[in-house]
């Protein structure tokens, strides 16, 4: 510090006074914050600016990828063989299950056609890789390597092989930020698969815990129940597994039971996730519904 005494700000060429700059930039900051938070007016700006952040993500990624590449190339033969055997086995099981799935799917489609609600069956998916960058230690958010260029949009549901992972929160050109279902600010509308009771599963900020605060003491929910998405938020399509109930405590003095659940998706272990483009089932407009009732 003391060595750098020669550079005090000269009188000439100082630029605008400090206070004015502070005021100007401060006002801009506040305007930007309001625009970004209130209306999401800056989504497009963020899209392009995040392209500038890409090289930094790449640099951070490289050592890990290099390490995986090296360990991958030197994996020994017997290990590969056992892995191959395991995968073959898994594939066989999955195939047989898929056989049944096909027929069930067909049956489901027929039944839906009978009910004239056949929309909402076809879906498109895309695999995205989680970029290992640390965003915020207090929030459950991750960055993936697919962005607006791949058609990712804000509020898009994200799954993995086991269940619902979360939804897209911010979109960049080639990256996107996900908010996981365990984040303290996130909630999923769910249904108990056994009996169809609807509720909301809130994130707790802990890695393996969801809380269901709106189930009354009398509601029929048991430990081990499967919770699936109910689709009422028009974000997550109905019927995807979300969590299993791990704890139910009923205190007759309270109105609501204490219910906790464990997410099925491997939120802390995933390397790849599935982006989902679901065709939303058409909800009849109120007028149409009234017409239908009249007829």
Partner 1 sequence: MSVSDGRISRLRVNATVILALILAVLPLPHWMDIARPYLLLLLVIYWSLSAPRIAGLMFAWLCGMAIDLLKGTTLGQHALAFLLVSFLTHKFQLRMRIFPLSQQTVTVLLLLFLYEFVVFWTDGIIGYPVTTWTRWIPVFTSTLLWPVLVAILDTWNRRSR
Q: Is 219 exposed, middle or buried (0-12, 13-18, 19+ CB in 10 A)?
A: middle
Binding-site member from 71, 134, 255, 295 for partner 1 (CB under 8 A): 134
Residue among 169 and 264 whose Cβ is closer to partner 1: 169
Minimum distance from residue 50 beta carbon to partner 1 (Å): 6
Residue among 167 and 230 whose Cβ is closer to partner 1: 167
Residues 13-32 that bind partner 1 (CB under 8 A): 15, 18, 21-22, 25-26, 28-32
The SS3 call for residue 267 is coil
Query: How far apart are alpha carbons 237 and 235 in whole angstroms?
Result: 6
The label of the residue with tokens 């697919």 reads 146
User: If binding means CB under 8 A, how many residues of this protein chain bind partner 1?
Assistant: 49
Residue among 156 and 177 whose Cβ is closer to partner 1: 177
Query: How far apart are alpha carbons 275 and 282 in whole angstroms?
Result: 21
Q: Is 25 exposed, middle or buried (0-12, 13-18, 19+ CB in 10 A)?
A: exposed
For 203, half-sphere exposure in the C-beta direction (CA atoms, 13 angstrom radius) is: 22
Q: Decide if residue 49 touches partner 1 (CB under 8 A).
A: yes
Query: How far apart are alpha carbons 157 and 166 in whole angstroms?
Result: 6
Q: Decide if residue 126 touches partner 1 (CB under 8 A).
A: no
Stretch that binds partner 1, among 43-51, 72-80, 107-115, 222-230 (CB under 8 A): 43-51
Query: How far apart are alpha carbons 93 and 119 in whole angstroms?
Result: 30
Query: How far apart are alpha carbons 250 and 160 in whole angstroms?
Result: 32
Stretch that binds partner 1, among 47-55, 114-122, 243-251, 255-263 (CB under 8 A): 47-55
Residue among 4 and 292 whose Cβ is closer to partner 1: 4
Q: Decide if residue 11 touches partner 1 (CB under 8 A).
A: no
Site residues, partner 1 (CB under 8 A): 1-9, 15, 18, 21-22, 25-26, 28-33, 36-37, 42, 45-46, 49-50, 52-53, 56-57, 59-60, 64, 132-139, 141, 143, 169-170, 177, 185
């Amino acid at each position: 510090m003391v060595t750098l005494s020669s550079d005090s700000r000269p009188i000439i060429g100082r630029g605008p006074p400090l206070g004015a700059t502070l005021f100007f930039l401060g006002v801009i900051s506040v305007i930007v914050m309001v625009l970004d938070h209130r209306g999401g007016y800056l989504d497009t700006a963020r899209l392009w600016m995040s392209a500038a952040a890409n090289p930094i993500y790449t640099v951070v990624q490289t050592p890990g990828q290099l390490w995986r590449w090296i360990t991958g190339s030197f994996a020994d033969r017997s290990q590969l063989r056992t892995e191959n055997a395991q995968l073959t086995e898994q594939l066989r099981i999955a195939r047989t299950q898929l056989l049944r799935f096909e027929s069930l799917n067909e049956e489901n489609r027929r039944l839906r056609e009978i009910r004239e609600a056949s929309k909402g069956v076809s879906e498109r998916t895309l695999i995205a890789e989680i970029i290992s960058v640390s965003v915020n230690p207090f929030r459950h958010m991750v960055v993936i390597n697919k962005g607006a260029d791949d058609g990712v949009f804000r509020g898009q549901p994200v799954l993995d092989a086991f269940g619902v992972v979360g939804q897209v929160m911010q979109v960049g050109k080639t990256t996107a930020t996900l908010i996981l279902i365990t984040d303290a600010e996130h909630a999923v509308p769910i249904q108990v698969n056994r009996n169809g009771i609807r509720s909301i599963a809130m994130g707790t900020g802990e890695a393996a815990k969801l809380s269901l605060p709106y189930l009354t003491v009398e509601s029929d929910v048991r430990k081990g129940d499967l919770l699936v998405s109910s689709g009422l938020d028009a974000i997550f399509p109905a019927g995807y597994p979300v969590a299993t109930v791990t704890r139910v405590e009923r205190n007759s003095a309270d109105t609501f039971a204490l219910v906790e659940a464990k997410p099925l998706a491997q939120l802390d272990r995933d390397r790849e996730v599935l982006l989902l483009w679901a065709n939303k089932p058409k909800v009849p407009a109120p007028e149409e519904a009234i017409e239908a009732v009249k007829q």
